[in-house]
Amino acid sequence: MLSIKNLHVSIEGKDILKGINLDVKPGEVHAIMGPNGAGKSTLASVLAGRDLYNVTEGEVLFQGKDLLDMEPEDRAKEGIFLGFQYPIEIPGVSTVNFMKTAVNEHRKYKGLDPLSASDFLKLMREKKSLVEIDSKLTNRSVNEGFSGGEKKKNEIFQMAMLEPKLAVLDETDSGLDIDALRVVANGVNKLKTRDNATIVITHYQRLLDYIVPDVVHVLYDGRIVKTAGKELALELEEKGYDWIKEENGK
């Protein structure tokens, strides 16, 4: 599904990613862990198409297509979803209007007619209950005045609405209390199918108690330095990142 080969990325001349290789297959959950500044969020942003970054080398194929050549909106319509670490507040744009526009753009891309107002509201109701999001939140402007937890829940709600093939969740667990964490994790688990895949980016092992990964990668200094099963997350929890740093000569 996703194939990243030797990806090098810099920002303002500074190298952030220094040769990432990663393969994700349908049905898999990958966790990417690593200390602060390792390049985890950069990787997520580059996959979603943020233009602040410079790809200097390497390629990213998504379902056989060159992802790096696509505009962010086209990546989304191809099935990539970025769950933002810091979801943006957009005063004056209602969540309903935002989601309706997005869902219909996705439908247009697939050659489908736009949803009628009543079908759309029905879809919203379904997805809201699936991810246990409060009705009141969707009546307001996008993320405006939301708490940290509400913002993250809203990300999962949007993911449920758009049904991506590959979700990249960037530090979705940061700033979440245990209840919100459980809601977010349940949402992700319910949305999981044999055909889609998830990349969970996180600092801590805690989220992985709820979303169980098939593969865990450690990203350090712009490279994936270790890849193993879910037990690696527990080892990192126990020992921290220092031994990784030592192994890699820093």
Partner 1 sequence: MADINTINKDFADLFNQGNELLLEGSSDVMNETRKNAFQDFSKLGIPTRANENYKYTNLIPAFDHPYNVNLRYQNVDVDLNEIFQCDVPELDTNMVLLTNGWYYGNNKELTELPKGVIVCGVQEAAEKYPEIFNAHYGKYAKTDEDGVVALNTALAKDGFFIYVPKGVVIEKPIQVVNLLRSDRDLMATQRNLIVVEENAQAKIIVCDHTLTHHKYLTNSVTEVNVARNAIFDLYTLQNQHLNSVILNSTFIRQESNSNVLSNTISLYGGTIRNNHHVILDEEHCENNTFGMYLMDRDQHVDNFTSIDHAKPNCLSNEHFKGVMDDQASGAFAGRIFVRRDAQQTQAYQSNNNLLLSNDAVINTKPQLVIDADDVKCSHGATVGQMDEDALFYLRARGIDEKEARQMLMFAFAHEIIEKIRVEPLKERIDELVDKRLRGEISKCNTCAIACNH
Q: What residues make contact with partner 1 under the rule CB under 8 A?
A: 48-50, 71-73, 75-77, 81-82, 84, 87-88, 90-93, 97-98, 101-102, 105-106, 109, 141-142, 158, 162
Q: What is the DSSP string of 87-138?
A: PPPEEEEEHHHHHHHHHHHHHHHTTPPPPPHHHHHHHHHHHHHHTT--HHHH
- Judged by beta carbon, residue 82 or residue 180, the one nearer partner 1 is 82
Residue 29 to residues 10, 26, 48, 187, 213: CA-CA distances in angstroms?
27, 9, 18, 14, 5
CB of 163 to partner 1, least distance (A): 11
CB of 52 to partner 1, least distance (A): 9
CB of 180 to partner 1, least distance (A): 20
- Judged by beta carbon, residue 26 or residue 72, the one nearer partner 1 is 72
CB of 236 to partner 1, least distance (A): 29
Residues 6+ apart with CB under 8 A from 145: 89
CB of 117 to partner 1, least distance (A): 16
Taking the C-alpha atoms of residue 46 and residue 41, their distance in angstroms, rounded to an integer, is 8
For residues 90 and 144, the answer to whether their CB atoms sit within 8 Å is yes
- Judged by beta carbon, residue 143 or residue 205, the one nearer partner 1 is 143
CB of 101 to partner 1, least distance (A): 5
- Judged by beta carbon, residue 130 or residue 225, the one nearer partner 1 is 130
Residue 235 to residues 175, 238, 239: CA-CA distances in angstroms?
23, 5, 6
- Judged by beta carbon, residue 72 or residue 149, the one nearer partner 1 is 72
- Judged by beta carbon, residue 138 or residue 205, the one nearer partner 1 is 138
**Amino acid at site 226:** K
Query: 87-97 burial string, b = 16+ CB within 10 Å, else e?
Result: beeeeeeebbe
If one counts every other C-beta atom within 10 angstroms of the C-beta of residue 203, the result is 17
CB of 73 to partner 1, least distance (A): 5
Provide φ and ψ at 180, rounded to 5°: -65, -40
If one counts every other C-beta atom within 10 angstroms of the C-beta of residue 132, the result is 17
- Judged by beta carbon, residue 40 or residue 75, the one nearer partner 1 is 75
